[in-house]
Chains A and B, each alone.
Chain A
Amino acid sequence: EVQLVESGGGLVKPGESLRLSCTTSGLPFINAWMSWVRQGPGKGLEWIGRFKGKNDGGTLDYAAPLKDRFTILRDNSKTTLYLQMNSLKTEDTAVYYCAAGVGSSDFDYWGQGTLVTVSS
């Protein structure tokens, strides 16, 4: 059974940093295309970025508005994906999901999300 579990969310102040983790099991992590997607309050889904699998070059793509503040990392030995968020703004308040693509789409499997609240 494929499982993705996000953690690391919480309440932070504007300008602060936060690192989210996505621990996975049951999938071929090293070759999976791993993504972060967020959903702000009352809003739809917004793509943050993706880390391609090793067989596809292991390269990164980011949503243009976020690439200067957000960084995606992966540890294949721990089958874990990370999202480093810097200079957080109130508009970054959202539920953050990680997703795994293993052949059908970039988002074949999803985690349940972790809530990040940016407020003074």
Chain B
Amino acid sequence: QSVLTQPPSASGTPGQWLTISCSGGNSNIGTNSVHWYQHLPGTAPKLLIYRNNQRPSGVPDRFSGSKSGTSASLAISGLQSEDEADYYCATWDNSLSGWVFGGGTKVTVL
């Protein structure tokens, strides 16, 4: 059972807008930045969004992040086939004194 809650799956057709939620609590998302990672099985995970809404260089601007209270969201606008992957949110938890990850959301492009 992950400290951060994500939907296990999400899907959409090419070109669609897709959002993935990440729900936590006051000791984690409520007080710390949220980061998002993209992971294709068998490959190295990749930083997608850092500090809630910042994109590293090279990440397409159709990926965006937001945070409000104890929840965060990752949005993908203009879904593409190469976006099929697992997506994880992560943040520091002050109560646990450690990093916590969401359970991951598997995105399928129909």
| Residues of A that sit less than 8 Å from B by CB | 4, 35, 37, 44-47, 49-50, 61-64, 97, 99, 104-113
- Residues on A with C-beta less than 8 A from B54 are 104
Q: Which of chain A's residues have a CB closer than 8 A to the CB of B43?
A: 112
Bound together, the chains give a CA A60 to CA B96 distance in angstroms of 15
Whether, in the assembled complex, B103 has its beta carbon less than 8 Å from a beta carbon of chain A, the answer is yes
A105 and B47 contacting across the interface, CB-CB below 8 Å: yes
B110 close to chain A: CB less than 8 A: no
Q: List 3 tightest A-B contacts by C-beta distance, closest first.
A: A47-B99, A104-B50, A110-B44
Name the residue among A46, A64, A107 with the largest chain B CB count within 10 angstroms: A107
Query: When A105-B50, A105-B51 are in contact, do A44 and B97 touch as well, CB less than 8 Å?
Result: no
Instruction: Check B44–A112 contact: CB distance below 8 A.
Output: yes
Contact A110 B50 (CB under 8 A): no
Contact A47 B98 (CB under 8 A): yes
A46 touches B101 (CB 8 A): yes
| A49 CB, nearest partner CB in chain B, Å | 8
Pick from B39, B42, B101, B103: contact of A47, CB under 8 Å = B101
CB <8 Å contact, A107 and B98: no
Known: A45-B88, A45-B90, A64-B96. A108 touches B101 (CB 8 A): no
Of B46, B88, B98, which is in contact with the most chain A CB atoms at under 10 Å from its CB? B98
Query: Bound state CA distance, A113 and B39, in angstroms?
Result: 12
User: From residue A96, how far is it (CB to closest CB) to chain B in Å?
Assistant: 12
Set of chain A residues within 8 Å of B15, measured between Cβ atoms: none
The minimal Cβ–Cβ distance linking B20 to chain A, given in whole angstroms, is 13
Q: Find the A residue at minimum CB distance from B100.
A: A47
Q: Which residue of B lies closest to A108 (CB)?
A: B47
Residue of B nearest to A67 (CB): B98
Q: Decide if A44 touches B104 in the complex (CB within 8 Å).
A: yes
B56 sits at the interface (CB 8 A): yes
- CB closest residue in chain A, given B88: A45
